Amino acid sequence: MTRANARRTHRPGSAPPVIRLSVRSPEQLFNSIDPSPFHERDLDEGAERFILNWARDVSRDAQLSLEITVENWDKLGELPVQIAEAVHDQFRRRSETISRELRELLRRGRISAAIGFAFLTATVTTGDLIGRSLGQSHANGIIQEGLQLLG
């Protein structure tokens, strides 16, 4: 599978953009190392990256279509339906994983921001308390500035 045998079409105001992908056989779409049954396999890393790269060029709110042409149609039977379901499942799982990772990242960010704010508050408050207790001295200024820089 190469960029030469796939193309995308999209005209503003026209039908949804279509990503067209051509493979020699259905197996070329899926990870050959994955021991899962065919319809549960992960997409081949190259195929997934290819689809995602083309999809990134389209506006976020556009509905995309993926058209897969299989050159070797021998004994496909129910395979086209299984391929469609496998592709949908792959991107659904990917979306769920990315959403879960984003929620975790935002949770850690909120915790880090709260810790940082608490530390900043503690250093500024400590600097003010030390400043009041030492009065107007050179050491007082150094300690207050040091605590502010630390915070």
- Beta strand segments in the chain, E: 6-9, 18-23, 65-70
Instruction: Kindly give the parts of the chain with pLDDT less than 50.
Output: 2-10
Sheet holding 65-70, edge to edge: 6-9, 18-23, 65-70
Q: How far is Cα 125 from Cα 137, in angstroms, rounded to an integer?
A: 18
Question: Long-range CB contacts (< 8 A, 24+ apart) of 70-75?
Answer: 70/22, 70/23, 70/24, 70/25, 70/26, 71/22, 71/23, 71/24, 71/25, 72/24, 72/25
| pTM of the model as a whole | 0.66
pLDDT value of residue 129: 82
Q: Which residue has the tokens 């990315």?
A: 98
